Amino acid sequence: MSELPLVALQGVSVVFGGRVRALDDVTLSLERGDILGLVGESGSGKTTLCRVLVGLTPPTAGRVSVGGQSVPEQLAREPLAFRRRVQMLLQDAVASLSPRMTLGRTLREPIAIHRLPRAEAEQRLAGILQRLGLPADVLAKYPHQISGGQARRVGVARALVMQPELIVADEPTAGLDVSVQGELLNLLLDLQQEFALTYLLVSHNLNVIRRVTRRTAVMYLGQIVEQAPTQALFEKPAHPYSAALLSTNPAIDPARRARRIVLQGEIPSVVNPPPGCRFHTRCPVAQPRCKTEAPALAEVGDGRLVRCHFPYALSLQR
């Protein structure tokens, strides 16, 4: 019998105010020890998906589980145990740190809240700080006294001290210089091996996704439209939206440059999404069927799931 995935979302929807469908029928899985990338335009539902996964937003419909157990049930039964199991790296690392608390107090606060053995946790924290390249005197500083890169590392330290299984990283390299981005990504990869971590990595930086992740999920208007091995996705996207999104990625290597696909029109409203395929109003290869019949997320081979009636249609035209 094969091992259950660490993370599984099955038909998950989130509706705000009875009208705003932020997530719609999202099915997604993440194997233990894997690194899954999540990409899509702003407003596609990436942050809402992250909030559902870490238990900050309850699903309106569907099931979300970590380790084979329902997230809402884990939170109701053992909330602190779940919070230790799943940690999140927030997009604005500096804003996630209290300006009124020293970094030492910030890092030790979860140790006190979770009633972890103090001596053991302190020893683990010291080792983590050293591993992250943060000097011991950083504990006496306040957030405004450190750089953005150091703030990211403090966020990583705060997560690791809980010994999590899963880390949800929302734009972990946003706002950092390219050299600092590279250092942080290398560090995250090293930590994944060292601490047996599983990552969900959200990023608008497609080069980061291509370099770091093993699988990638593409979101559009609250739905997963494609999920595939990262290299296969970048080499030949199956969904027209994936092809358009990846065509915007700058590449130094001429062999990797693709003709940019410019989508027409605006992203439809999540309050009143179009009938049929949600992408048909902007899709350059839409057919009459796409306007009336919503496609299901289906396997098309190569370990790939696609929500499209005519997968690879755009790739075949190019």
Q: What is the pTM of this model?
A: 0.92
Place of tokens 């403090």: 154
| 202: pLDDT strictly greater than 80 | yes
Task: With cut-offs at 50, 70 and 90, classify the pLDDT of residue 267.
Answer: confident
**Which residues lie closer than 8 Å to 225 by C-beta, 6 or more apart?**
218, 219, 239, 241, 242, 279, 297, 306, 307, 308
247's tokens: 């065509």
How far apart (Å, rounded) are the C-alpha atoms in residues 318 and 303? 23
Place of tokens 């350059």: 284
pLDDT for residue 266:
83
- Which of 197, 115, 123, 209 lies closest to 163 in space, CA to CA? 197
pLDDT tens-digit map of 170-188: 988 888 888 888 888 999 9
pLDDT tens-digit map of 99-116: 999 999 999 999 999 999
What sections of the chain are H helices per DSSP?
Answer: 46-53, 71-77, 79-85, 103-113, 118-131, 148-160, 178-195, 206-212, 230-235, 240-247, 313-317
pLDDT for residue 28:
95
| CATH code 3.40.50.300 region(s) in the chain | 7-213
CA-based torsion, 49, 51, 54, 55: positive or negative: negative
pLDDT for residue 260:
81
Task: With cut-offs at 50, 70 and 90, classify the pLDDT of residue 261.
Answer: confident
State residue 171 phi and psi, 5-degree precision.
50, 60
Question: What would the CATH number be for the domain defined by 7-213?
Answer: 3.40.50.300
State residue 249 phi and psi, 5-degree precision.
-75, 120
Degrees to nearest 5, angle at CA 298 with 294 and 303? 150
Average pLDDT, the chain: 91
| 257: pLDDT strictly greater than 70 | no
